[in-house]
Structure 1
Amino acid sequence: MDNLPDFYIQKAKIELNETETRKKQSLEQFNEWLSKHPFVKKHEIDPSIIVRLFRSRKYNMDKVYENINKCIIFQKNHQELFNFNITKLLEIYDKGVILPMKIRNADGQRIIIVRNKIFDDLKSSNYDIMRMVFTVGDTISYEQETQICGVVVVMDLREISVRYIANMDVNFFANCIRYIESAGARLKQINIIGLPSIANTFLEILKTMLSQKLISRMHFFKNVQDLTKVMDVKNLPVEYGGSEDADDCLKCYREKYKESASKYAKFIESLEIDEKRMRNYEAKEMFKGVGSFRKLEID
């Protein structure tokens, strides 16, 4: 597995049912399936993205196919959301709104800090927020270690304004979360700090649209001190009482982020879809109850 340490190789075997033979066979099976796809006419899919999807669904190929179709349909139904301006994305990235920590936790998981107060200060739109989440998430998802072990997200909601909460579209965010899961993210924990009481209604509605497994991975903390009772302090930025310098983390990932965001945009542009066939497929799947708005089961 590309010279991965034994810790990750064994974890992939035990938790994801992965072997080199299975990976090879799955890639062959996938390519055959894609060649007969009902509505994709042309594509340029990086093999590393395909393996990421295999791992996210533990090599259950039916789920892999279902998730790929969901992603493509979501992308085509929300094309304006994927109209990436790389320069603008980099400007927002440099503000430190989303911090990928350099040090993994004991389980090999990558830690992501989302500082919503900065989004608020920038008066970011819902689209700006999700574009950042998509592209930063895509950057770390190229890491084999992250594909195998997953991600721990820390959502810092302290000091966000009423305006910020009022502008949140619950349906939009629920659909984006489903897309993120379908695209191969293994969300192992979502730790939320300082949820304002005014946001409780938003959260309760959001929960009705998510799977019970994902909801069970959401944990709430009044402040950073409470968070450090369940997370190793070394995995947090200095401003949270940890040992990692936020600026160093941003610099460490900046070039990877720029490359990944560009690659993400090119992938979206490379897809050629038969729109009529896609709409027919979407209608059939929605009728069967397995369409874009079903609650996703995650691993």
Structure 2
Amino acid sequence: MNLLFAVDDLGARQMLTTIYSIVENTSLEKEKLIVYVLQKQKLQQTALIEGLSAKLGFVYRPVLIDEKLFASAPTTDRYPTTIYYRLLAQEYLPNDLDKILYLDNDLLCINDLKPLYELDLKDYLYAACSHTRLEMVDVLNNVRLGPESGANYYNSGVLLMNLPQIRAEVKAQAIFQYLKENQNNLFLPDQDILNGLYGQKILALPDEYDNYDARKPTIYEAISFGRYDLDWVIKNTRLLHFCGRDKPWKKAYNGRFAGLYKHYHKKCQDLLGR
């Protein structure tokens, strides 16, 4: 099972909590978990990552990205350059790699990830989840991003990637051109580019299973007429996504799943001896 992250040193510890939760809850059997991490220079937290790799038995493979590649891309404190790396990850990953699962570092795996990873992507470039049922902004996004954006607006925090298809169709020049022409309309830059250029070539996944927005449990319960309650989530959801500015590793965070995240984070830190 191949996983992909893109982090800097500030996000490395959170990534380790995500990886720990995956190992704890995924039936790998005799398979190896191989974790590729896109980074613009060798992380100062490398020893920490290698330490967890040795204890959990996953393979850590750092992938260095040319710092100049996205030099002109819009960034903020919330959206550093690393958010763009997933868009061209195929150019840096081994050519014999056919499938990889990209994950943000603010995710928690609470059930077996294997059914998601083994999904048949057919001719789609990616598989991803939309949160538009929760936000009702489809029309605005279609107007803002153009006709190629498709019916849904997909969250880029969980992307199952069909690498042979992506290598054939996703080109750096097209991304840079779209960025140049639309940079004043981009609210979530990498996610907007993904949807604006390739939205019609993304296989829709159910977000209640594979990219549950942890900010909105009440809305999930409402749209499911009470079915997606806490018990259902604990039993069925594979990935909880702590979207937005409030993060569960911060002391003031008090969302419904705060205790669950802190439990996994502590277990991971204990394993590292910290």
- Alignment TM class, shorter chain as reference: under 0.3
Using CA pairs below 8 Å that are at least 6 residues apart, which structure has the higher relative contact order?
1
Structure showing the higher strand proportion among its residues: 2
Instruction: Look at both structures and tell me which one has the larger radius of gyration over its CA atoms.
Output: 1
Structure showing the higher helix proportion among its residues: 1
Q: TM-score, normalised to structure 1's length?
A: 0.25
